[in-house]
Structure 1
Amino acid sequence: MLEAAVRLLPEVAPRQLARGDQQYALGGFAGLAGDAAALALADRRRTNQECAARALQLLETGRAVLLSQALDTRSDLTDLHEQYPELAARFVELRDQLDQPETSAPAVVPIDNPDTLHEGQDRLIQDRHRLTRDIAATLAAIRTQDAFASFGLPPTTEELLTQADQGSVVVFNISDYRNDALLLTKTGVTAVPLPGLGYTTLIDRINIFRQALYTAGAGANGALRREAQATLSRTLEWLWDVATEPVLTALGHHRQPSPEVIWPRVWWAPGGLLGLLPLHAAGYHTDPVDAPQRRTVLDRVISSYTPTVRALRHTRQRNPAPPSPAHALIVAMPTTPHLPNEGRLDHVPAEVEKLHHHLPDPVLLREPDPDRDPADLSATLPTKNNVLALLPMCPIAHFACHGDSHPTDPSESLLLLHDHDTDPLTVASLAPVQLGQAQLAYLSACRTAAIDAAELLDEAIHLTSAFQLAGFLHVIGTLWEIDDQIAVTVADAFYTHLTTDEGALDVSRAPHALHVAVQAVRDRFPRTPSLWAAYLHAGV
């Protein structure tokens, strides 16, 4: 019964609904996929490996439903354009129309005809229904052609398992029934029970962690802030004991790799509640630095994140060629209009200076001083429209600004640019963006990988995933508020390790570069995890 319900989840939030309505519909079924996967793992009629594969398919179906819908229509169109150009053109036209944000009905209603508003809304709904029918018919037509039978369809279990070729993928499942990690490796998929990771205990730990984060930054005195950091450290140690250590042991990562070898990689797909904690930072960070079996994730593997295995597969199938000449975009907000104290970030200028040293021929959009008239600087103001116009030409984009996660609607989470109060750069505004040459987005801002709407945790709707969907192979995000000065240190070290011996940037080094940058700050401040544990890499 639960399995059938999970497979119907995409029908609960069909594409013809507005995004907000889709989120509302899915929010009513939070945790359904996790419960179904837990029961599948307990099925005594199947082998352990069969149970694990079935649970994986259920989680892939029932998590990140909106993201999966977007991926359905973002398959590689190169072959389709070459063999069936008319079908490809029709598909792209319908997809782009359906991806556009919902426009509202007229805000000004004629006083003598109040029905105009309702007529406009009805017309918008009818248009979305028509577009959905048309794109379904076009997809059906494409799938009748030779070699295109699986176009836009979810990958099979066998196709998902190929994603372990470059490193293990770990998919967590937390439910009231049981708690497990599904391990995708070159030999198949297996389940590791996690009995110490109780559902209620996890919720309690998350609440304690989040309160400690707040106190660590805003505590009334040094003693309170130090105790908050100790609480954060204890939570990371607990997370190691109950979640990451059993996984790494099962994968055979028992000790720190030697410096001369290529470090193993692990992709974490936390799903749900575990996405609120930094799996990549779990461990005992006060262990002796020279201990070969130092008990931390940071000292065993290089971590990356993915919402689902399917999302990782989609990103890997892209192979963007950088434009020539290649540019980097820097968006800098040392101050932000309409925030208290102008939202000052005193160390953004230093970050920009470091970026100019590292990035090739950068294009800079920078907020001017508040007392300066920006009227003659419209082309270089960091507005949403200017950013979106430049992204297609800039395979690398670095944002140094404020970020915010919306408490109830994650699609409204945003980067605070010059026009954030009138035309914000939100998750929703990035949904229609498709960049063919994007490689690296570095979001040096607060909470760009955070979700606050509990009922939508499975959907992984945040700025980091939005930039991934837009086309970036690598995205650097953050789970909570970051320190302005430490942000300069991390960014500088990141781009230093991204640079080859010949002086060129190699974005494929992004996971390693962030790992080394965060590890260095951790080694300086092992008892202050709020400063370094927020940073994460998402992507290939």
Structure 2
Amino acid sequence: MGLSEKISLEIETAAHLRLSNDWDRLLARIRAMPGFESFLRPSPCTALLKYLPDSGPIVLINVDEHRCDALALRVGHENPLHIPLPNFSLKVAKDYHSRLTKRLVAHDLRAPGGSGDSGEIALEPERGGGLYGRKRVVDRSATHEILRGLWVCVVKPILDCLNFEKVDPASEMPPPRVWWCPTGPLMFLPIHAAGVYEGAETECTLDYVVSSYTPSLGALASRLANNRPIDEGISGIFLTSQPKAPGTVTISGTTEEVNSIHAMGLAAGVRVSKLEGDSLTVDGCLQNMEEFSSLHLACHAFQHAEDPLRSRFRFHNGFLELDQIIQRNLKNADLAFLSACQTSAGHKSLSDEAVHLAAGMLAAGYRRVVATMWTISDRYAPAVAKDFYQYLWSHRKEGSGSGFDGSLSAQALHHSLQQLRERLDDSEQSLLTWAAYVHYCY
């Protein structure tokens, strides 16, 4: 190495050292500011335990090639409850994910792939099909095996350790709540629907708890830490259906869905507004999202695997993109009901599988989101939504005025899925119909 090269290397090393020292000093200044003590650090356990829901535990499930475990965080307990899951493995989780995806493709509930170089994935060709049927014993399918495996090896051991028991269907008390925070391939599996559905005696997660999901512990903790009243002038719900967006299959059930919700809202005295099809522009929707605390979108949706912020909802008059929503001032945002397909379906190509439209709406400020893991049925979606809002509005607090309160949305979705289950049998098609729906956050 020549003299000039040595001098150049010393100068470069000195520059790197100077930048490193500047970085350390800048971090020290930021962390000295109130509220920024943990800036660019993992949240300490004490911070996470400080803001826990009082109506049930958060269950973090870690799937690793060496072992699988769950950690339950409970209010009033200083330490997490460790729950070993010795009968589950990363290999099994990946196998379940692969097999479930094949079954979804077979039932036209998920597209087999993306759209080439754009990275955009159409989240539905249409909002599904299927028939109502009476309860009957059915033959075991791959989906039955997956849900049974999740129940026996993951969910039931966790519920047993938490001392949760099967709730009497005749009881007027709702089941306790659980927030699931899965990792890795478990993010693509319906933990909330795990259960045994063959034979005369069936049992599943719905029989024990009301399930919600959270993309991370911090996401839920921040909602609880910043839980503030919604401006009474903003409290209400905005609805839209977009049944005939250009270049997409007509989803006529969205019109029935929104009209039904709108009529029920008016009857309940709730502040509610709707715009349909061509009457709504993208800018108009964004404006209504600022003027109403809650949102119901019944439309087509697309997820962009390469750039999640370009994930979008398809309107008659253009695309409502996630990055447009995040840029708005939604400090009063409450509930977003995304009645579109696969709005909580992450993508395995992303470094964080929990990057999807539902998580994006949480990041935009919504406190709770109802979403779907795969394509939903255009025949059943209106019934699910109707039962959901009927539950919410029949449980309104006295003195609510015209405001809209989504705080019971998890219980409302639980109720509506139980209602749908009663109308269907336990065939694979029926299980995939109701198990698509999920609730996120508080």
What is the TM-score when the length of structure 2 is the normalising length? 0.78
**Residue aligned with 1:499, SS:** helix
Aligned match of 1:150: 37
**Matched residue type, 1:301:** V
Closer, same or farther in 2 for the Cα pair 1:275/1:148, shift >3 Å?
closer
Residue of structure 1 in register with 2:411 after alignment: 512
**Aligned counterpart, 2:124:** none
What code does the residue aligned with 1:176 have? E
**Per-residue deviation, 1:475:** 0.5
User: 1:141 offset after TM fit, Å?
Assistant: 6.0
- The 3 A distance-change label for structure 1 pair 496 and 189 is same
Give the CA deviation at 1:297. 0.4
Query: Distance between the aligned counterparts of 1:157 and 1:201, measured in 2?
Result: 29
Q: Which residue of 1 aligns with 2:152?
A: 241
Structure 1 match to 2:193: 281
Residue 523 of structure 1 and its aligned partner are, at CA, apart by: 2.3
Q: Which residue of 1 aligns with 2:119?
A: none
Counterpart of 1:351, as a letter, is E
Number of residue pairs the alignment of both structures matches: 378
Confirm or deny: 8 A CA contact 2:181 2:216 kept in the other structure: yes
Structure 1 distance, partners of 2:28, 2:139, is: 56
Alignment partner of 1:198 is 2:89: yes
Matched, 1:399 2:297: yes
User: In structure 2, what is the Cα distance between the partners aligned to 1:295 and 1:209?
Assistant: 20
| Alignment partner, residue 250 of structure 1 | 161
Unaligned stretches of 5+ in structure 1? Answer: 1-132, 369-379
The aligned counterpart of 1:266 is: 178
| Counterpart in the other structure of 2:345 | 450
Q: Could you say which residue in structure 2 is the equivalent of 1:521? A: 420
In 1, the alpha carbon distance for the partners of 2:64 and 2:141 equals 28
Of 326-335 and 473-482, more deviation after overlay is shown by: 326-335
By how many angstroms is 1:159 displaced?
A: 2.5
Give 1:306's aligned residue: 214
Matched, 1:481 2:375: yes
Q: Post-superposition shift, 1:189? A: 0.8
Structure 1 length-normalised TM: 0.64
Q: Distance in 2 between matches of 1:404 and 1:331?
A: 17
Q: CA deviation at 1:317?
A: 2.1
For the residues of structure 2 that align with 1:409 and 1:198, how far apart are their CA atoms? Answer: 30
Q: Which residue of 1 aligns with 2:333?
A: 438
Q: CA deviation at 1:228?
A: 11
Secondary structure at 2:231 match in 1: coil
The answer to whether structure 1 residue 426 and structure 2 residue 317 are counterparts is: no
Secondary structure (helix, strand or coil) at the match of 1:195 reads: coil
Counterpart CA distance in 1 for 2:390 and 2:298 is: 17
What letter is aligned with 2:355?
I
Give the Cα–Cα distance (whole angstroms) in 1 for the partners of residues 178 and 63 of structure 2: 19
Alpha-carbon displacement from aligned partner over 1:492-535 (angstroms, at most 9, x marks no partner): 00000001456854311111000010111122223211110010
- 1:328, 1:396 within 8 Å by CA — same for their partners in 2? yes
Alpha-carbon offset, residue 276 of structure 1: 0.4
Aligned mates of 1:228, 1:396 — CA distance in 2: 41
Q: Deviations over 1:334-385 (max 9, x none)?
A: 111123xxx20021111111111233343323113xxxxxxxxxxx32x332
Q: Structure 2, unaligned stretches of length 5 or more? A: 1-21, 111-128, 131-136
Q: CA RMSD in A?
A: 3.0
Structure number having the greater helix percentage: 1
Alpha carbons 2:301, 2:313 under 8 Å: kept: yes
The Cα of 1:405 is off from its aligned counterpart by: 2.5
> 1:426 deviation in Å?
2.8
Offset of residue 329 of structure 1: 1.1
State how far apart, in whole Å, the 2-side matches of 1:534 and 1:248 are: 22
Q: Give the number of the structure whose residues are more often strand, by fraction.
A: 2
Aligned equivalents of 1:534 and 1:453: distance in 2?
A: 18
The counterpart of 2:251, out of the listed 314, 337, 345, is 345
Shift of 1:303: 0.4
User: Relative to 1, partners in 2 of residues 1:390 and 1:197: Cα closer, same or farther, differing over 3 Å?
Assistant: same
Query: Matched residues in 1 for 2:394 and 2:336: separation?
Result: 19
- Counting aligned pairs with the same residue, the percent is 30
Paired letter, 1:204? D
Deviation of the 1:154 alpha carbon: 5.5
Match of residue 122 from structure 2: none
